[in-house]
Amino acid sequence: MNYKLTISWLYPDLMSTYGDRGNVICLLKRCQWRGIEAEIIPISLNLNNEKLGSSDLIFMGGAQDRQQSIAGEDFIVKKGPVLKNLIEKGVPGLFVCAAYQAIGNYYKPYTGDDIAGLGIFDLYTKHPGDQAKRLIGNAAAELNSKFKIPNTIVGFENHGGRTHLGKGVKPFARVIRGFGNNGEDGYEGAVYKNCIGSYFHGPILPKNPRLTDWLISRALVIKYRKNVELTSLSDEMEWQAHEFMLKRLGIKSLQ
Ligand code: GLN
């Protein structure tokens, strides 16, 4: 059977500031390398809104406060209702940093008005003001057991906002090195159904092949209503990059 996945990339022109386009390329290639047809649909302020409803997988990346606020209202009004419906029916998504903040309740930036969020995740984010340092650097965390892939994830974070999870919201991972949601509670990201919010930018998918495959597998299960075995890929380079970062951070591999 020929499988096809439509991957919607939200606001590539506004919210792809910290190398997040690499995650879209990674999803595309890991489908193509397996003979799964994959199409990337860029969706932005006045672009392809009508195509959002046919997403099999969603990606939305990071942004500086200004671009985040430009996308803010559009995200809620134009994308919100369809996105909520997709996520509730289990369509997988990865929302990185500003995108993660945007699927929460609100983000209070360093200056200017609060940016309302979709409220899919019961969480809020606040920038603590000008004395606060940005949470920047390479980071590693241990995945929530929900993923059944006992694994570290490595990535790069760069955010001023501090995110606090509501009661009952499942964290995506436990921080081993770095800051994660707020640099205090030891958690990184959040998970709801097949939707992940994370502060890990850029390399979160290229350096964590099992996580990428988890998203692809979930998209296939939801679309074709059956488990589709993914052919294994060598992943030598991916794991080299993963292990290199673990070593640099002084962490023993959990593989
Ligand atoms: N502007 C937000 C913050 O500083 C998100 C940054 C990002 O997406 N990297 O917290």
Does residue 177 belong to any structural domain of this protein? yes
Least confident of 36-40, 143-147, 193-197: 143-147
Residue range 123-148: mean pLDDT, rounded: 92
Ligand 1 pocket test, candidate residues 60, 97, 100, 198, most atoms within 8 A of CB: 97
Give the model confidence (pLDDT) of 18-51 as tens digits.
888 999 999 999 999 999 999 999 999 999 999 9
Does residue 147 belong to any structural domain of this protein? yes
Three-class SS string for 193-204?
Answer: CCEEEECCCHHH
| pLDDT of 254 strictly over 70 | no
Task: Find the domain containing 153 and state its range.
Answer: 4-248
Does residue 20 belong to any structural domain of this protein? yes
Instruction: Tell me if residue 201 is catalytic.
Output: yes
CA of 54 to the centre of ligand 1 (A): 28
CA of 158 to the centre of ligand 1 (A): 7
Number of domains in the chain: 1
Does residue 44 belong to any structural domain of this protein? yes
- Of residues 255 and 193, more confidence is placed in 193
Instruction: Tell me if residue 31 is catalytic.
Output: no
Q: Reduce the DSSP state of residue 136 to 3 states and report it.
A: strand
Nearest Cα to 59, choosing from 31, 35, 26, 105? 26
CA of 97 to the centre of ligand 1 (A): 6
User: Which atom of ligand 1 lies closest to the CA of 62?
Assistant: 8
Give the model confidence (pLDDT) of 181-191 as tens digits.
999 999 999 99
Does residue 49 belong to any structural domain of this protein? yes
Q: What is the DSSP letter of 50?
A: G
pLDDT confidence bin for 255, thresholds 50/70/90: low
CA of 95 to the centre of ligand 1 (A): 12
Query: Whose Cα sits closest to atom 6 in ligand 1?
Result: 159
Give the model confidence (pLDDT) of 75-97 as tens digits.
999 999 999 999 999 999 999 99
Residues paired with residue 110 on neighbouring β-strands, in sequence order: none
State residue 203's pLDDT score: 85
Pocket of ligand 1 (CB under 6 A): 18, 62-65, 68, 97-98, 158-161
Nearest Cα to 38, choosing from 8, 5, 82? 5
| pLDDT of 208 strictly over 90 | yes
134 is annotated as contributing to ligand binding: yes
Ligand 1 pocket test, candidate residues 16, 17, 64, 133, most atoms within 8 A of CB: 64
Given 31, 127, 195, 201, the catalytic residue: 201
Query: Whose Cα sits closest to atom 5 in ligand 1?
Result: 98
Does residue 255 belong to any structural domain of this protein? no
Give me the torsion for CA of 193, 125, 106, 195, rounded to 10°: -10
Specify the CATH number for the domain of residue 204: 3.40.50.880
State residue 252's pLDDT score: 81
Does residue 56 belong to any structural domain of this protein? yes
Does residue 30 belong to any structural domain of this protein? yes
What is the pTM for the complete model shown? 0.97
